[in-house]
Amino acid sequence: MPLLPADVTLQPGEGVRAVIVQDRQVQLLTDGLLATFGLMLAVVLKMALDGGIGRELSGLGSGMFTTFLFLVGPLLIQRIFGARPAYTLTDRRLILAEDDIIELHQIRRIRVWLTSISLQTDTRRVWLQHLPNAPAVARLIRDTLTR
């Protein structure tokens, strides 16, 4: 039996199928790509602004870059070193957090993305993100649904 997260309480007769954990390296790759595209967008916008007012193109200066780092740096550090939730799949439920549980019979649609899964119920959409093997997790959830 997999090691359960501390906030998971099983109902009588309920069995654990899997504990699904997020991968830190997948999260770092995703965040790095988003940061790179963000900086590229900032440079393009700054160049467009320079061209719009007739000033010589200067790109992103060191002052603007430093300001950007001081504004975004603490958010990135918190995201990198913050706790990642572990999802618990049982034969009846998908436990996302202590107070966030999806009954398996409520799942209407499962969509697999590169490193995440989108679960659609009647009332909401839930994302399981930063998974090292998202298709295998989706297959496991589908197999559990059909039991």
Nearest to 128 by CA among 96, 82, 92: 96
Task: Give pLDDT tens digits for 58-94.
Answer: 666 677 777 777 777 777 777 777 777 788 888 889 8
Two structure tokens written together for 92: 């009846």
Strands, DSSP E only, in the chain? 16-21, 86-90, 93-97, 100-103, 109-112, 117-120, 125-128
- pLDDT at position 4, please? 72
Task: Give pLDDT tens digits for 89-121.
Answer: 888 898 888 788 888 899 999 999 988 999 999
- pLDDT at position 117, please? 94
Task: Give pLDDT tens digits for 117-132.
Answer: 999 998 999 999 889 8
Q: What percent of the chain has pLDDT over 70?
A: 93
Two structure tokens written together for 124: 């909401």
Does residue 1 surpass a pLDDT of 60?
no
- pLDDT at position 2, please? 59
Does residue 50 surpass a pLDDT of 60?
yes
Nearest to 120 by CA among 97, 138, 143: 138
Phi and psi based region of residue 108 (left: phi greater than 0; alpha: psi -120 to 50; beta: remaining): alpha
Helix axes 62-81, 24-52, angle to 10 degrees: 160
CA dihedral 128, 132, 135, 140 (to 10 degrees): -70
- pLDDT at position 27, please? 78
> In angstroms, rounded to a whole number, what is the distance separating the alpha carbons of residues 39 and 54?
22
